[in-house]
Amino acid sequence: MPKRTRDKLLALARGEFWDFNDQHFTEILAEEYAIRLSRSTVRRLRREAGLASPRKRRASRHHQKRERYPQAGMLLQVDGSHHDWLEGRGPEVVLLAAIDDATSRLVYARFREQEDAAGYFLMLHEICRTHGLPLALYADRHTIFQSPKEPQMRVPGEPSVAEQLAGKLPRSQFGRLVDPGPCAQDG
């Protein structure tokens, strides 16, 4: 490689393109400066000159595995699965399922037209009737389980200061089912 090309590459790498990773810098050299080199050559030249490729992505955080609950029936994982279950031979349906956390046993599964509160209410009713009342449910952030009024910065279930002062608590659809509140007692 001519010294002039090498010097130009290093000048650009130290200057205007100091924050480009090796691949992007290689593409810019080819497109804008007609310097056509492989990424590995550009990488080697930059490293020899003491120029590291900046890390553009954060390293993924390692998530610790959650310990399973020690006893069957304590925690149920519930979710709805949207999929072409009938492979085009019928309407699109959602599979609502509940799995016991301790045993990985399927305790409930039903097809529904949509993932809705009524389906989850029927699921919980059937589970309570056949298996007993679970200690807790583990679900995604669907509004059936989490109030849409709860800001994400706050701990779910904890009322805001304004709600505490007004005596109002944001409740999910499930929360209103379990505790309908004062309106249900008046009627």
In this structure, is residue 57 part of a structural domain?
A: no
In this structure, is residue 59 part of a structural domain?
A: no
In this structure, is residue 61 part of a structural domain?
A: no
Statement to judge: residues 115 and 160 lie in one domain: no
In this structure, is residue 172 part of a structural domain?
A: yes
pLDDT class of 56 with cuts at 50, 70, 90: low
Statement to judge: residues 81 and 128 lie in one domain: yes
Check residue 144 and give its pLDDT.
Answer: 74
Identify the residue whose tokens are 């009938």: 86
What is the amino acid identity at position 23? Q
pTM of model > 0.75? no
In this structure, is residue 114 part of a structural domain?
A: yes
What is the amino acid identity at position 93? V
Query: pLDDT (tens digit, 9 = 90+) per residue, 133-182?
Result: 998 888 887 767 776 654 554 555 566 667 667 766 666 676 666 665 55
Statement to judge: residues 128 and 152 lie in one domain: no
Statement to judge: residues 134 and 79 lie in one domain: yes
Statement to judge: residues 79 and 132 lie in one domain: yes
Q: 39-48 and 3-14 helices cross at what angle (nearest 10)?
A: 80
Q: Extract the tokens encoding 180.
A: 């309908």
In this structure, is residue 80 part of a structural domain?
A: yes
Query: pLDDT (tens digit, 9 = 90+) per residue, 92-141?
Result: 999 999 999 999 999 999 999 998 889 999 999 999 999 999 988 888 87
Statement to judge: residues 132 and 83 lie in one domain: yes
Check residue 181 and give its pLDDT.
Answer: 58
Q: Count how many domains the chain has.
A: 3
Mean pLDDT value of segment 20-35: 92
In this structure, is residue 35 part of a structural domain?
A: yes
Query: What is the rounded average pLDDT for all residues in the chain?
Result: 82
3-state secondary structure of 92: coil
In this structure, is residue 38 part of a structural domain?
A: yes
Sign of torsion over alpha carbons 164, 167, 172, 175: positive
Can you give the residue range of the structural domain that contains 10? 3-48
Check residue 187 and give its pLDDT.
Answer: 44
Statement to judge: residues 123 and 157 lie in one domain: no
- Taking 90 as the threshold, does the pLDDT of residue 12 lie above it? yes
Query: Burial code of 31-60, b = ≥16 C-beta within 10 A, e = fewer?
Result: eeeebebeeeebbebbeeeebebeeeeeee
Region of poorest pLDDT, from 39-53, 74-88, 165-179: 165-179
Statement to judge: residues 10 and 35 lie in one domain: yes
Statement to judge: residues 111 and 131 lie in one domain: yes
Check residue 136 and give its pLDDT.
Answer: 87
